Chains A and B, each alone.
Chain A
Amino acid sequence: MAVKRSRGASIAIGSLGWIIALWIFFPLFWMFLTGFKSEVDAIATPPHLFFRPTLVSYAEVFERANYWHFALNTVLISVGATFVAILLSIPAAYAMAFLPGKRTKGTLLWMLSTRMLPPVGVLVPIYLIARDTHLLDTVVGLAIVDMLTNLPITVWMLYTFFREVPLPILEAGRMDGANRWQEITVVLLPLAVPGIASTALLSMILCWNEAFWSLNLTSSQAAPLTAFIASFSSPEGLFFGKLSAASTLAVAPILIFGWFSQKQLVRGLTFGAVK
């Protein structure tokens, strides 16, 4: 804001902004530090801000806890669910953005309302269906559920992006004899790459951090990182160094993604209502 302020007021506002920011971020900073401590240093009182950094905890997490197994599950589930969700969303969003009918608006709102279904309300049937179809504790099973929970969001987000593509460009393509398939793949998609990328990113973040279904539908074979970290809730969690190292590894990729895509995320998270 172009407000002229006294030097003192500026400094006060700046300090307040920084103090609050550091206080909110402190737990994550502390987690990062603790990951490089030995277990003895990690529980030292008073806590050590300066210490001899070691990679012992990380080595433990990789060797004993089989970190890569859980990381690979998370990647497979997130990428798989996102890929299928986008694949289904592109034609749906195209149809609603460029071939709107009387029911388009109703369909959009209905899709949104399916997202409001509380997962715990359908926990029992989904669990039993997964058990009976042998999808319990499989990567495919969890990916399907994650894909379905995110589908309304990806359709919505792509829809808002597609609507920003100028119609004349699509019409020009049609004049040149492009059929519908070519219109989507040759004309629309190249224009919508940034929108598709941010939609995929949001879906990846949501899948990566999804905890409810991960905890309930997997145990060991298909457990993603959210469930792996939850295993530290036993007395095991008192190994602060290992807990911190594993948590840092699990959180870092998404945190960095999130930092770089704040703007696009706002749009997706609010169904386009805030941009």
Chain B
Amino acid sequence: MDATTMTTAPPPVRAGSTSGRKSGILLLSPAVVLLLVWSIVPLLLTLWYSFRNYNLVDPTMHGFAGFSNYWYLLTDPDFLEALRNTALLVVGVLVISVGGGTLLAVLYDQEFFGRGIARVLVISPFFVMPTVSALLWKNLMLHPIYGVYAWMMRSVGLTPIDWLQRFPMATVMMIVAWEWLPFAVLILLTAVQSLDTEQREAALLDGAGPVARFRHIILPHLSRAITVVVMIETIYLLTIFAEIMVTTAGGPGVASTNLAYMIYARALLQFDVGGASAGGVIAIVIANIVAMFLVRAVARNLEA
């Protein structure tokens, strides 16, 4: 059986006693009610605020705004830049982490000396809190004077680069990829290891070379795990926030501002609740489109 499918046993069917169903609902309700409140009330409030004139420090701003918050946002070049940066961050990190993750999963599936330790080292960055990762890279690694990379560049005769100033978005992308590549390796390695040894040996006996084995056996086997990785990472990558806040604060200008950081800046730095909420609604719509695909993929796994 495909190891990436859901749990093995089919749901135990019980002769549908009404008492069973009643206590089932009773046991389920605390979690469901809380999640219902948690997912609906803030959503409705965001929607409500997005049609209001509402500024936390300016009491003269009030009343119904119609679509003006949206109009103001959609015609703001900064918003388009934020959308572009969000897309760049998601796509860039996905390409690096899924592409690299697949290759590394195959590499760390091979027998070699000290493989267990090497694997642990590779997946470690995933467990590091985002603020530490970001500051570690910003200061210890990439600082233009004291950073390790600056020293390396100088020692081969190059001029060190102030990465976060010169290439803010690419550098943030690199830091985030450092955090998420290990996640992809962790998941994909688990999936590779569940590949049938018999199947591999059969392919080997048939004289399939390493490339053919990768393409025709490993990749198809990994496809579901890759789908899961892409979707889970997308959910998190759409709302990357802490890394940007502590490295560039969205700058220089808005060069590294993504949707999440823009909404934060609107709400808690400029106190424009209405405008931030309109941005929030747009973020929710985007995330929902992605989530639809993810939920569908997981639903398919439930049936399998």
Chain A contact residues, CB within 8 Å of chain B: 1-3, 10, 13-14, 16-18, 20-22, 24-25, 27-28, 30-31, 34, 42-43, 45-47, 88-89, 91-92, 94-101, 104-105, 107-109, 111-129, 148, 151-152, 155, 160, 163-164, 167, 180, 205, 208-209, 211-212, 215-216, 225-227, 229-230, 232-233, 237-238, 240, 243-244, 247, 250-251, 254-255, 257-259, 262-263, 265-266, 269-275
| CB–CB A116/B137 < 8 A | no
Known: A21-B118, A104-B11, A262-B186. 5 other contacts (CB 8 A): A24-B124, A91-B31, A107-B32, A117-B287, A118-B287
Q: Which residues of A sit under 8 angstroms from B42, Cβ to Cβ?
A: 122, 125-126, 129
Chain B min CB distance to A31 (Å): 5
Chain A min CB distance to B198 (Å): 11
Contact of B140 among A31, A108, A128, A271 (CB under 8 A): A31
Range for the number of chain B residues in contact with chain A: 35 or more
The listed residue with most B CB atoms (<10 A of its CB), out of A20, A30, A122, A227, is: A122
Q: How far is the CA of A48 from the CA of B236 in the complex (A)?
A: 37
User: Can you list 5 A-B contacts with CB-CB less than 8 angstroms, sorted by A residue number?
Assistant: A88-B30, A121-B46, A121-B281, A124-B46, A215-B242
Q: How far is the CA of A128 from the CA of B6 in the complex (A)?
A: 40
| CB–CB A92/B39 < 8 A | no
Q: A46-B155, A251-B132, A259-B120 are in contact. Are A1 and B246 (CB under 8 A)?
A: no
| CB–CB B38/A148 < 8 A | yes
Contact of B127 among A107, A232, A254 (CB under 8 A): A254
| CB–CB A91/B135 < 8 A | no
| CB–CB B129/A208 < 8 A | yes
CB-contacts of B14-36 with A (<8 A): 14, 16, 20-21, 23-28, 30-32, 34-35
| Majority SS at the chain A contact face | helix
Q: How far is the CA of A160 from the CA of B288 in the complex (A)?
A: 25
Q: A124-B46, A216-B264, A238-B139 are in contact. Are A251 and B128 (CB under 8 A)?
A: yes
Q: Which residues of B sit under 8 angstroms from A258, Cβ to Cβ?
A: 123-124, 126-127
| CB–CB B263/A163 < 8 A | no
Nearest first, the 7 closest Cβ-Cβ pairs linking A and B are: A14-B112, A99-B24, A116-B291, A125-B45, A211-B242, A122-B42, A258-B127
| CB–CB A1/B109 < 8 A | yes
Q: Which residues of B sit under 8 angstroms from A47, Cβ to Cβ?
A: 148, 151
Q: How far is the CA of A39 from the CA of B136 in the complex (A)?
A: 15
| CB–CB A123/B267 < 8 A | yes
| CB–CB B9/A109 < 8 A | no
Q: How far is the CA of A180 from the CA of B34 in the complex (A)?
A: 23
Chain B contact residues, CB within 8 Å of chain A: 3-9, 11-14, 16, 20-21, 23-28, 30-32, 34-35, 38-39, 41-43, 45-46, 49, 104, 107-115, 117-132, 134-141, 145-146, 148, 150-151, 154-155, 178, 181-183, 186-187, 190-191, 194, 197, 200-201, 204, 224-225, 228, 232, 235, 238-239, 241-242, 245-247, 249, 259-260, 263-264, 267-268, 273, 276-277, 280-281, 283-284, 286-288, 290-291, 294-295, 297-299, 301-302
Residue of A nearest to B200 (CB): A1
Contact of B31 among A3, A88, A97 (CB under 8 A): A88
Q: How far is the CA of A266 from the CA of B194 in the complex (A)?
A: 13
Number of A-B contacts (CB under 8 A): 350
Q: Which residues of B sit under 8 angstroms from A91, Cβ to Cβ?
A: 27-28, 30-31
Contact of B276 among A96, A124, A270 (CB under 8 A): A124
| CB–CB A273/B238 < 8 A | no
| CB–CB A98/B127 < 8 A | no
Q: Which residues of B sit under 8 angstroms from A233, Cβ to Cβ?
A: 131, 134-135, 138, 245-247, 249
Q: Which residues of A sit under 8 angstroms from B181, Cβ to Cβ?
A: 24
The listed residue with most B CB atoms (<10 A of its CB), out of A2, A167, A258, is: A258
Contact of A124 among B30, B109, B280 (CB under 8 A): B280
| CB–CB B136/A25 < 8 A | no
| CB–CB B127/A155 < 8 A | no
Q: How far is the CA of A208 from the CA of B127 in the complex (A)?
A: 10
| CB–CB B301/A273 < 8 A | yes
Q: A95-B24, A99-B21, A151-B35 are in contact. Are A17 and B108 (CB under 8 A)?
A: yes
Contact of B295 among A25, A101, A112, A160 (CB under 8 A): A112
Q: Which residues of A sit under 8 angstroms from B3, Cβ to Cβ?
A: 274-275
Q: How far is the CA of A232 from the CA of B181 in the complex (A)?
A: 25
Chain B min CB distance to A20 (Å): 7
